[in-house]
Amino acid sequence: MSALLGLRDVHTHIGPYHILHGVDLEVPEGEVTLLLGRNGAGKTTTLRTLMGLWRASQGQVLFAGEDITSRPTASIARLGIGYVPETMGIFSDLTVAENMTLAARSARRTKDIDSARLEWIFSLFPMLKTFWLHPAGLLSGGQKQMLAVARALIEPARLLVIDEPSKGLAPSMVARMIEAFQAVKETRTTLLLVEQNFHFARQLGDHVAVMDNGAIVFKGEMASLIDDSALQQRLLGLSLDAHQ
């Protein structure tokens, strides 16, 4: 099993605060890794650090065998890493079509977008087709989340890094999002997903890492965490009844 992305003993400070305390994480190629953990555990800080949005004060980030720890964010993205931040990063004043066109690096105009790829994305998120010419700001929170994921999918990426794809989604939309990620998973795209929702995470993850207080406190196969409710309770504070 080869890791496409690896973090080794990564420490991150934000201003005077020491947030990441030696994060070690491996993301195997062609598989789905879930990063879980309670609020404030350091999940978003880990993603921002690997994207170069925060600078590691110690340690290394490796992508495809290359040290990217000190690279600028734009250059990290150009290596083929698609990132959907917690804040989604969509443009409210622009239409869905314009948001997608901006995300498609190879397309200057909407009609230049690879049509087969766009049809595939419409099959994952049919509402994007319905609201194609509507300003993105008029979409619901869940629809915006789908647009944010769709933007990350429009160009083939070697690695997709997505911060809480299920956040703020109604249950019916969670099911749609899971189906969409299952379809992405079938293309053997390497995924690193941050989640709070274990119901979502368990259906997609091959591998899982759990963070607490700025460090990884558990790494393993998702199947082993699914089978061990005492471990879930200890790591995530979950009770089975709450997550049926």
CB 193, min distance to ligand ATP, A: 13
CB 78, min distance to Mg ion, A: 25
3-state secondary structure of 170: coil
Task: Give the one residue of 1, 17, 109, 244 binding ligand ATP; rule: CB under 6 A.
Answer: 17
Contact between residue 41 and residue 15 where contact means Cβ atoms under 8 Å apart: no
Residue 49 binds to Mg ion (criterion: CB under 5 A): no
Could you give the angle at which helices 171-186 and 115-124 cross, rounded to 10 degrees? Answer: 140
3-state secondary structure of 73: helix
Give the chain's count of helices (H) and strands (E).
Answer: 10, 10
Task: Give the one residue of 40, 141, 156, 220 binding ligand ATP; rule: CB under 6 A.
Answer: 40
Residue 165 binds to ligand ATP (criterion: CB under 6 A): no
Structure tokens at 240: 């089975």
3-state secondary structure of 16: coil
Residue 141 binds to ligand ATP (criterion: CB under 6 A): no
Rounded to the nearest 5 degrees, what angle is found at the Cα of 168, between the Cα atoms of 153 and 7?
55
Structure tokens at 97: 């079509």
Residue 197 binds to Mg ion (criterion: CB under 5 A): no
Residue 43 binds to ligand ATP (criterion: CB under 6 A): yes
Residue 100 binds to ligand ATP (criterion: CB under 6 A): no
Residue 95 binds to Mg ion (criterion: CB under 5 A): no
Residue 223 binds to ligand ATP (criterion: CB under 6 A): no
3-state secondary structure of 112: helix
Structure tokens at 159: 């690695």
3-state secondary structure string, 21-72?
EEEEEEEECCCEEEEEECCCCCHHHHHHHHCCCCCEEEEEEEECCEECCCCC
List the single partner that 142 binds among Mg ion, ligand ATP, none, CB under 5 to 8 Å by kind. none
In terms of residues, how long is the chain? 244
Give the nearer residue to Mg ion in terms of CB position, either 44 or 101.
44
Give the nearer residue to ligand ATP in terms of CB position, either 45 or 166.
45
CB 128, min distance to ligand ATP, A: 26
Residue 82 binds to ligand ATP (criterion: CB under 6 A): no
Residues contacting Mg ion: total by CB under 5 A: 2
C-alpha of 22 from chain center? 21
List the single partner that 191 binds among Mg ion, ligand ATP, none, CB under 5 to 8 Å by kind. none
Residues that bind Mg ion (CB under 5 A): 43-44
Residues that bind ligand ATP (CB under 6 A): 14, 17, 19, 37, 39-45, 196
